[in-house]
Amino acid sequence: MDRFHISGPTPLIGRVCASGAKNAALPALAASLLTDEPLTLCRVPRVRDLRTMRRLLDYLGVGSEERQAPGSEAPRAVRETALVLQRARPSSSTDAPYELVKTMRASVLVLGPLLARYGSARVSLPGGCAIGVRPIDQHLKGLAALGADVRLAGGYVEARASRLAGAHFRFDLPTVTGTENLLLAASLARGTTVLENCAREPEVADLARLLNVMGARISGAGGDTILVDGVDGLGGAAHRVIPDRIEGGTYLIGAAITGGDVLLEQASAADLAPLLDKLAEVGVEIEVSPAGIRARTGGGLRARDVATAPHPGFPTDLQAQYMALMTRAEGTSTIRETIFENRFQHAPELARMGARIHVDGGSARVDGPTELTGAAVMATDLRASACLVLAGVAAAGTTVVDRIYHLDRGYEGMELKLQGLGAHVARVAESQAI
């Protein structure tokens, strides 16, 4: 149970390099179940969720080995990794046990490829999540539309199909991993699949790019209608995972909340457009150049409302970090969370630092500006922890962020990156805690 000890306030100044996207790497790793040939994935972030996915794949017979990607001269914290995945033994099991799945919901991404490749899959239901109920009904409905016999028994999804068949399926709502699961499954189905009302997140398009290099025939990914012409088999591939727009966006918000000046390298301005537009509205100077995306604040910050939405709307995974920013802005802002029903748990923790936030159901009203002061706070989920760390760097005094294991799920070397930007952040193991 590591903690972060942060002393502030410190303006974040300098360059930071975006890591690979956790939410693109996870489905990319699951794609390894679709072939016996080696899959080489570059820029896979070294975060806990990827280690969990590797353990699950190992359990399912796919081994993985980390190799240093040629030419990655960056400091140790963000040195690029090439992960080589290959089936190590004939498929012995198509079971994804609760013990492995319960620690990471994205484990459900093995369901589609197992079913498509081996005709059966038994995958534990993910169980509860801090930010919302998060059902997987759309995943199951989609696979049933492709002809699978899908049942729930004993906390598991049991799915069978001699061979999936192409079909027309419309999601009731855009779901990121739901769309990814169907892409993985439909790639090996007989015939053509038309998916409508798909998630348009860049991570979905990145998965389609990888699958097409493996030999799939997917078109339209990144839009709300995707066509998949099923093929009989898929080969190996080499693929570089897209940069993490959520991690990158976190550092850009860090520049804004601390009155700093940060150049984010190796990030995609197109993928970050919803955030960059909002930051410009708030009064942050944004400069996009071949060197990267620069964020700095000249004058004060203006309070601006935001509502989260599926891409290309404002990402829910940056909502918490944005709330921290709004505590420093001039005026009142309303933040509406429309994706998850319980994603304001960072608000009472920010209030411990002096923030004035009123939560009412799916809306939070933030009154600013507030001079945040350091306090002991507790992380409740991945993005809430990033929010508290940014608030800690901006706050006067010492902030201790507890339960940092949430952060380690999705941020590669955060304390090293922040130290590189001048922050006074130390990771303290519980045993060393004062």
Where does this chain bind ligand EPZ (CB under 6 A)? 23, 26, 105-106, 132, 134-139, 173, 175-178, 199, 203, 316-317, 339-340, 382-383, 410
CA distances 233 to 194, 328, 331, Å, are 19, 54, 57
By the 10 Å C-beta count (0-12 exposed, 13-18 middle, 19+ buried), 155 is classed as exposed
In DSSP terms, which residues pair with 16 in a beta bridge?
264
- The minimum distance between CB 44 and ligand EPZ, in angstroms, equals 14
- The dihedral formed by the CA atoms of 23, 27, 32 and 35, expressed in degrees to the nearest 10: -150
Which of residues 119 and 132 has its CB atom nearest to ligand EPZ in the complex?
132
Q: Which two tokens stand for residue 49?
A: 């969720």
- Cβ closest to ligand EPZ, residue 243 vs residue 374: 243
Q: Which is nearer to ligand EPZ, 86 or 197 (CB)?
A: 197
Tell me the C-alpha distance between 333 and 355, whole Å: 13
Please identify every residue annotated as catalytic.
Answer: 129
- Secondary structure element (H or E) that encloses residue 245, with its range: helix 245-257
Which whole-number Å values give the CA distances from 227 to 111, 146, 314, in the listed order? 20, 13, 26
Spatial separation of the C-alpha atoms in residues 363 and 361, rounded to whole Å: 6
**Closest to ligand EPZ by CB, 137 or 281:** 137
For residue 232, count other CB atoms closer than 10 A to its CB.
8
Residues 6+ apart with CB under 8 A from 414: 386, 389, 407, 425
If you search the block for the tokens 């509406």, which residue do you land on? 336
Nearer to ligand EPZ, 316 or 333 (CB): 316
* Closest CB to ligand EPZ among residues 207, 375: 207
Minimum CB distance to ligand EPZ, residue 371 (Å):
29
Q: CB neighbours (10 Å) of residue 330?
A: 14
Q: In what order do the strands lie in the sheet with 306-307?
A: 306-307, 331-336, 363-368, 356-360
Write down the least CB distance from residue 383 to ligand EPZ, Å.
5
Amino acid at site 305? D
- Nearer to ligand EPZ by C-beta: 140 or 394? 140
Q: How far is the CB of 171 from ligand EPZ (least distance, A)?
A: 8
Q: Smaller CB distance to ligand EPZ: residue 121 or 375?
A: 121
CB of 339 to ligand EPZ, least distance (A): 5
CB of 63 to ligand EPZ, least distance (A): 22
Strand positions, DSSP E, 258-361? 261-265, 284-289, 292-297, 306-307, 331-336, 356-360
176-186 and 111-118 helices, crossing angle to 10°: 10
Shortest distance, CB of residue 299 to ligand EPZ, whole angstroms?
31
Nearer to ligand EPZ, 116 or 303 (CB): 116
Q: What is the largest CA-CA distance in the chain?
A: 63
Phi and psi torsions of 88, nearest 5°: -95, -25
CA distance 285 to 155: 50
Q: Which tokens sit at 203?
A: 């991570």
Euclidean distance between the first and the last CA atom of the chain, given in angstroms as a whole number? 14
